[in-house]
Amino acid sequence: MKRLLNIIVVLALGILTITSCEKEAETGSEASSNPKVDMIDPGRAPSNEVLTVTGTGIGGVTSIVFDKDNISASFNPNFNTDNALIFRIPVDAVPGEQNIVFRNSKGVEFKVPFNVLGLPAITDVSNYNFSAGTNITLTGKNLGDVSKVVFRGQTAELQIVSKTETTLTVKMPATSLAQTKLDITNEAGTITTSQEFVCIDNAFLIFTDDYQNGFVNGSWGPAEVSATFSKSGTKSFKATYMKGNWSADGFANWDPGIPYSADYKYLSFWVKGGVESHTFYITGDQRAGGYGNSDRTAPIEVPANVWTYFKIRLSDLELWKKGGPFKQLGFWIPGPDNQDETLYFDDVIFIK
């Protein structure tokens, strides 16, 4: 209310200034050799917000610059009197603590400290998959003042476990959603993440900590459930590709197999690469090329020694192309040529 009254008063002063004297209307308020700012309201705000500066001798302003990357703010001189100035934060102002630098027609500069608030921005996530009660850590910027996180379009708030300027950890609740983005709110406003999160509780599981839904090890080479590395839980599927073997390692459901269902939209999985980066190929017994090491129509690039997330449309993979229930799903490599390579697969699922 106080801010509104200030704006009304300043606007009234501006109107009086315009109408009281034709010369003043042409030249604007007079500059001072000793401008003094008493207050800027609000003291922190996002881009495009209206700011009101009050003080003495602050007329005759010719330029306003936010000094983080020197972003200029446009303003109407009619809203600048000896005691007040109204202008908007530029839409491209850089978020963070900085000075607003004013210069008047006498060449005198004066500054006001200000904090431009930035919308949350998410650049990385600890996992795309979750079960009820698990924590997900989001990495990015402008996260220290986050006040609310919800599933996109929902109202129930997720528990914020911890937050810093660059990280935000939330506890994921039970949900009937198969996959969802997050709406994240801070002082600057609300954004929707580009990242989409998958509730494993509502997915069809092939491997999560162990074989699921009748699947077993269907590998040509050495493979096993391993506790050496995991992306979720405590275990992953360890597949070793022997030098020069051209083997296909993966999963099998020999009986009855997995019939086609339009409910399944994506195959997703995490894989931790080996010593070198390699191109692997997804293979399946009901794909057009059959199961084995001749089908190169579904390549994936697996970087060395890091976990990489894949989410592939089942309509592109055509695991049921031949018409029957699929019984084999694997990953093969032509080689490897230089040494044995060991990969770790986790959270191998169909997303509905």
Per-residue model confidence as pLDDT tens digits over 40-93: 999 999 999 999 999 999 999 999 999 999 999 999 999 999 999 999 999 999
Give the confidence band of 293 by pLDDT, cuts at 50, 70, 90: confident
What integer pLDDT is reported at residue 299 of this predicted model? 98
Structural domain boundaries in the chain: 2-117, 121-199, 203-351
Tell me: pLDDT of 2 over 70: no
What integer pLDDT is reported at residue 28 of this predicted model? 66
Q: Regarding the domain with residue range 2-117, which homologous superfamily does it belong to in the CATH classification?
A: Immunoglobulins (2.60.40.10)
Phi, psi of 149 (to 5 degrees): -135, 130
Q: Which residues pair with 250 in a beta bridge?
A: 330
**Residue 185 and residue 124: Cα distance in Å, rounded?**
17
Neighbours of 117 (CB within 10 A): 20
DSSP state of 335: -
The residues, any chain, with a CB within 8 Å of residue 236's CB and separated by 6 or more, are 225, 226, 228, 229, 230, 272, 344, 345, 346
Same fold, 121-199 and 203-351: no
**Residue 343 and residue 91: Cα distance in Å, rounded?**
47
**Residues 273, 302: contact at Cβ < 8 Å?**
yes
**Residues 123, 193: contact at Cβ < 8 Å?**
no
For the domain 203-351, what is the CATH code? 2.60.120.260
For 209-340, strand residue ranges (E) read: 216-217, 223-226, 236-241, 248-252, 266-272, 278-284, 299-302, 307-313, 328-332
Tell me: pLDDT of 352 over 90: yes
Q: In which order are the strands placed within the sheet that holds 135-141?
A: 121-125, 135-141, 167-171, 159-163
Q: Regarding the domain with residue range 121-199, which homologous superfamily does it belong to in the CATH classification?
A: Immunoglobulins (2.60.40.10)
pLDDT, one tens digit per residue, over 314-323 is 999 999 999 9
Residue with tokens 């493979």: 223
